[in-house]
Chain A
């Protein structure tokens, strides 16, 4: 079956520009997570959506970062006025149900390079 997909796979942008990253989770999965992995670092949590509940935004590094999830499915992560330190691989994951005891299914990631 179809897994988690992300687009674009690569994005190169200039400092100061806005970017939008898209995530299509596995159909029926109610939980959706965004992480980023900078070079040599682990997975840094950004934001978590669960069903119709208010998202947990506690991991967003600044107010330049925002995300939405429309209709409980597709999610878009937006980074405004990009900075060079935003360069990283942005990973999206989904889980079938609420709760901490579920594995996450990850997409292939979007590699963002800010020049």
Chain B
């Protein structure tokens, strides 16, 4: 039973356009969310995070939006660049009363075409 779901296994976007990667979760105890990016033959690297007390966090071209009532978050990349082509993992963790161990989704493979 997946608590963190990334329902789109892949996404293809033209360079310069917006990439939107989606993530849904089921556990209402989750209060911290992270996005990781993974290139082939490398480990995931941290990209951006958001606490449940916020609904938006921005870092350069990357913005994460959180909709707690819908248990949904999304990562926006604007403008998309070919170097952004990678697998993106959504992760969630629970603080007070929860586990310290992040739960990961299955990832979405983003391809940005020149």
Interface residues of A (CB under 8 A from B): 4, 31, 33, 35, 40-43, 45, 48, 50, 56, 59, 91, 93, 98-101, 103-109
**Residue in B43, B51, B101 whose beta carbon sits within 8 Å of that of A91 in the complex:** B43
Segment 53-111 of B: residues with Cβ below 8 Å from A:
89, 91, 93-95, 98-107
Q: Which of B41, B45, B93, B105 contacts A42 (CB 8 A)?
A: B105
**Other-chain contact of B89, A33, A43, A108 (Cβ < 8 Å):** A43
Give the B interface residue count (CB, 8 A). Answer: 29
Partner of A100, one of B41, B89, B95: B95
Contact A56–B101 (Cβ < 8 Å) = yes
- A100–B99 CB distance below 8 A: yes
CB pair B104–A99 under 8 Å, yes or no, is no
- CB atoms of A43 and B43 under 8 A apart: no
Q: Which of A41, A93, A98, A106 is the one whose CB lies under 8 Å from B100?
A: A98
Whole-angstrom distance between the alpha carbons of A39 and B49 in the complex? 26
Tell me whether B94 and A108 are in contact (CB under 8 A).
no
Contacts of A35 in B (CB 8 A): 104
Does the CB pair A100–B45 fall under 8 Å? Answer: no
Give the one of A104, A106, A109 with max B CB within 10 A.
A104
A41 with B95: CB separation less than 8 A: no
Q: Is the CB of B49 within 8 A of A103?
A: yes
Extra pairs beyond A35-B104, A109-B41 (9, CB < 8 Å): A4-B43, A41-B106, A42-B89, A42-B106, A45-B103, A100-B32, A100-B98, A103-B49, A106-B45
Q: How far is the CB of B9 from chain A (nearest CB, A)?
A: 8
Tell me, in angstroms, the Cα distance from A106 to B52 when the chains sit together: 24
How far, in whole Å, are A48 and B100 apart by their CA atoms in the complex?
A: 9
